[in-house]
């Protein structure tokens, strides 16, 4: 117990590497800017239209371009200099945000401006994210991978709590345009960090035809049951599991009857649970039984989603709902961080961008999952819909674990990968030479 506590209180393993530390601080600025942008963009949209449908169109515009281009973003992350690709993507995104800020400041912004710029920013992000995911493993040693993944997740968890409040304060005291400019500045900071970051030479993954590279990446994933399981878990999490977030206003107003303040508290305690687990995993740095973490975390997340939905509807206890939200945050973070760290350890360098591009696409479909949940809730009710989504997440976590030995023995496979070059074990898993692990 004292050993774990001392690790939590000490510097996380990944932050002991100066290059990753610089990258992490730049990412903190960029993601913080993104969270401020999401708040300000939504505020501006509703301010201009007063329509919730307009909010949906803006979200769909961003998601559709990201989903369409994520795979190609992964291909280019393997073909091009990752540092230069991230630098260009950050500056282009910053320019798009500055343009939106200028239109807002001049009071000429219209809904179509927001939709077009959101679509463009989503397209750029489809090239940025795979390059980022493919870059940072080269800034640390393999033993610090799980710590780095957890620290990256901590940025998202922490800024999700802090940045919206900061954006609201900026808008209240100055203007919406000022908040948008602050968001753009975060991307500029990340570009500056990347520009001055000295990274060891990374071998280009492919120099052939881009479409051929894309097909090669898809075949690699298709031929690897562990990758299918890990990425499939992410898909079910994004499409079915996280749909509860889009349905939270219905729970707050119609089911639990706690209003917007109650909804804020529910989302806040979920974030606290997620952030707490993220900090713990980031400090510990590694955990041998990763298969158990993924299966147990996914199963727990799915079951707590279903329990939250059904108890909210049929018990109506706000306190119980808060407790389940904390559990949801802990379970979701546990298995999602473990999935990403496992992928980073197993994926060969030459395939890293393409696999991360496919992985990123599963997150980009989250708004579409919200649309599915909203449509189904019209017929089945919000509680039943969300409970079904949770059940599907739990079933997918448990099903492959029962029938696939590689999934159950993921921790042993990763142990065997420990002495390899980066991701060499992934090549052997794909070829079937590690099936008896």
| Per-residue pLDDT tens digits for 90-113 | 999 999 999 999 999 999 999 999
Q: Is residue 4 part of a domain?
A: no
- Map residue 137 onto helix, strand or coil: helix
Q: Is the pLDDT score of 289 beyond 70?
A: no
* 136 token code pair: 């940072």
The reply to whether 307 and 334 lie within a common domain is yes
CATH number where 399 lies: 1.20.1250.20
Question: What mean pLDDT do residues 67-75 have?
Answer: 83
The reply to whether 388 and 275 lie within a common domain is yes
Q: Is the pLDDT score of 205 beyond 60?
A: no
The reply to whether 200 and 240 lie within a common domain is no
Q: With contact defined as beta carbons under 8 Å apart, do 48 and 110 qualify?
A: yes
Q: Which residue has the tokens 């708040």?
A: 39
Q: Is the pLDDT score of 62 beyond 50?
A: yes
Report how far residue 189's alpha carbon sits from residue 72's, in angstroms, rounded to the nearest whole number: 26
Report how far residue 76's alpha carbon sits from residue 53's, in angstroms, rounded to the nearest whole number: 34
Report how far residue 293's alpha carbon sits from residue 284's, in angstroms, rounded to the nearest whole number: 14
Position 435 scores a pLDDT of: 47
The reply to whether 196 and 247 lie within a common domain is no
Position 419 scores a pLDDT of: 43
The reply to whether 45 and 80 lie within a common domain is yes
Report how far residue 30's alpha carbon sits from residue 24's, in angstroms, rounded to the nearest whole number: 10
Report how far residue 8's alpha carbon sits from residue 370's, in angstroms, rounded to the nearest whole number: 36
Q: Is the pLDDT score of 413 beyond 80?
A: no
Q: Is the pLDDT score of 267 beyond 80?
A: no
Q: Is residue 42 part of a domain?
A: yes
Phi, psi (deg, nearest 5) at residue 198: -95, 115
Beta-sheet strands, E only, within 120-186: none
Position 206 scores a pLDDT of: 60
Q: Which residue has the tokens 């590690």?
A: 434
Position 281 scores a pLDDT of: 72
Q: Which residue has the tokens 């008896």?
A: 436
- Between 58-67, 84-93, 166-175, 273-282, the lowest mean confidence (pLDDT) is in 273-282
Position 260 scores a pLDDT of: 61
Cα 325 to its chain centre, rounded Å, is 18
The reply to whether 171 and 236 lie within a common domain is no
Q: Is residue 56 part of a domain?
A: yes
The reply to whether 255 and 161 lie within a common domain is no
Local confidence band at 301 (pLDDT 50, 70, 90 cut-offs): very high
Q: Is residue 36 part of a domain?
A: yes
- Between 117-121, 292-296, 368-372, 400-404, the lowest mean confidence (pLDDT) is in 400-404
Position 412 scores a pLDDT of: 62
How many structural domains compose the chain?
Answer: 2
* 304 token code pair: 């707590």
- Between 169-183, 307-321, 399-413, 414-428, the lowest mean confidence (pLDDT) is in 414-428
Local confidence band at 421 (pLDDT 50, 70, 90 cut-offs): very low
Q: With contact defined as beta carbons under 8 Å apart, do 219 and 231 qualify?
A: no
Q: Which residue has the tokens 């990446």?
A: 217
The reply to whether 389 and 246 lie within a common domain is yes
- Map residue 29 onto helix, strand or coil: helix
- Please report, for residues 38, 51, 117, 291, 436, the alpha-carbon distance to residue 54 in angstroms, rounded to integers and kept in the order given: 14, 5, 14, 42, 53
Q: Is the pLDDT score of 433 beyond 70?
A: no
The reply to whether 191 and 231 lie within a common domain is no
The reply to whether 155 and 251 lie within a common domain is no
Q: Is residue 115 part of a domain?
A: yes
The reply to whether 305 and 417 lie within a common domain is yes
- Between 87-101, 146-160, 223-237, 284-298, the lowest mean confidence (pLDDT) is in 284-298
Local confidence band at 212 (pLDDT 50, 70, 90 cut-offs): confident
pLDDT digit string (tens) for 2-34? 454 455 556 777 888 899 999 999 999 999 999
> Is residue 112 classed exposed, middle or buried when 0-12, 13-18 and 19+ CB atoms within 10 A define those classes?
exposed
- Between 182-196, 228-242, 355-369, the lowest mean confidence (pLDDT) is in 355-369
178, 204, 230 - which closes a domain: 204
The reply to whether 324 and 417 lie within a common domain is yes
Give the range with max mean pLDDT: 125-134, 319-328, 343-352. Answer: 319-328
Position 2 scores a pLDDT of: 43
Q: Which domain holds residue 280?
A: 220-431
pTM above 0.75, yes or no: no
Question: What mean pLDDT do residues 69-81 have?
Answer: 83
Q: Considering the chain, what is the average pLDDT of its residues?
A: 81
Report how far residue 402's alpha carbon sits from residue 399's, in angstroms, rounded to the nearest whole number: 5
Q: Is residue 158 part of a domain?
A: yes
152, 177, 204 - which closes a domain: 204
Q: Is residue 162 part of a domain?
A: yes
Question: What mean pLDDT do residues 145-150 have?
Answer: 80
Q: Is the pLDDT score of 423 beyond 70?
A: no
Q: Is the pLDDT score of 341 beyond 70?
A: yes
Local confidence band at 302 (pLDDT 50, 70, 90 cut-offs): very high
Q: Is residue 1 part of a domain?
A: no
Report how far residue 310's alpha carbon sits from residue 387's, in angstroms, rounded to the nearest whole number: 7
Position 192 scores a pLDDT of: 95
170, 204, 238 - which closes a domain: 204
Local confidence band at 284 (pLDDT 50, 70, 90 cut-offs): low
């Amino acid at each position: 117990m004292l050993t774990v506590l001392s690790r939590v209180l000490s510097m996380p393993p990944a932050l002991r590497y100066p290059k990753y530390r610089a990258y992490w601080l730049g990412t903190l600025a960029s993601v913080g800017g993104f969270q401020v942008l999401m708040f300000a963009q939504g505020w501006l949209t509703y301010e201009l239209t007063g329509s919730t449908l307009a909010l949906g169109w803006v979200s769909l515009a961003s998601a559709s371009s990201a989903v369409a281009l994520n795979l190609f973003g992964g291909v280019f992350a393997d073909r091009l200099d990752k540092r230069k690709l991230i630098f260009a993507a950050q500056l282009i995104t910053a320019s798009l945000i500055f343009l939106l800020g200028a239109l807002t400041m001049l009071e000429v912004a219209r809904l179509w401006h927001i939709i077009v710029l959101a679509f463009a920013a989503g397209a750029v992000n489809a090239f940025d994210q795979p390059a980022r995911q493919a870059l940072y493993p080269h800034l640390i040693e393999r033993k610090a991978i799980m710590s780095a993944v957890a620290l990256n997740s901590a940025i998202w968890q922490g800024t999700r709590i802090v940045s919206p409040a900061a954006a609201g304060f900026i808008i209240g005291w100055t203007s919406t345009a000022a908040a948008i400019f602050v968001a753009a500045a975060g991307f500029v900071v990340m570009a500056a960090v990347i520009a001055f970051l000295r990274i060891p030479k990374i071998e280009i993954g492919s120099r052939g035809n881009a479409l051929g590279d894309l097909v090669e990446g898809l075949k690699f994933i298709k031929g690897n049951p562990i990758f299918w399981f890990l990425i499939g878990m992410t898909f079910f999490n994004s499409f079915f599991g996280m749909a509860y977030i889009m349905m939270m206003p219905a729970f707050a107003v119609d089911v639990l009857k706690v209003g917007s303040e109650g909804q804020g508290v529910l989302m806040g305690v979920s974030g606290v649970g997620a952030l707490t687990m993220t900090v713990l995993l980031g400090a510990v740095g590694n955990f041998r039984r990763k298969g158990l973490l993924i299966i147990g975390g996914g199963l727990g997340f799915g079951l707590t989603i279903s329990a939250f939905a059904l108890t909210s509807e049929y018990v109506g206890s706000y306190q119980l709902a808060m407790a389940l939200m904390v559990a949801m945050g802990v379970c979701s973070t546990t298995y999602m961080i473990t999935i990403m760290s496992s992928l980073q350890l197993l994926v060969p360098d030459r395939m890293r961008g393409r696999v991360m591009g496919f992985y990123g696409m599963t997150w980009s479909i989250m708004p579409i999952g919200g649309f599915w949940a909203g449509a189904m809730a019209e017929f089945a009710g919000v509680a039943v819909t969300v409970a079904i989504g949770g059940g599907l997440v739990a079933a997918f976590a448990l099903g492959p674990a029962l029938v696939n030995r590689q999934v159950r023995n993921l921790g042993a496979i990763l142990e065997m990968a420990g002495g390899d070059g980066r991701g060499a074990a992934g090549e052997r898993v794909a070829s079937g030479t590690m099936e008896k692990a």
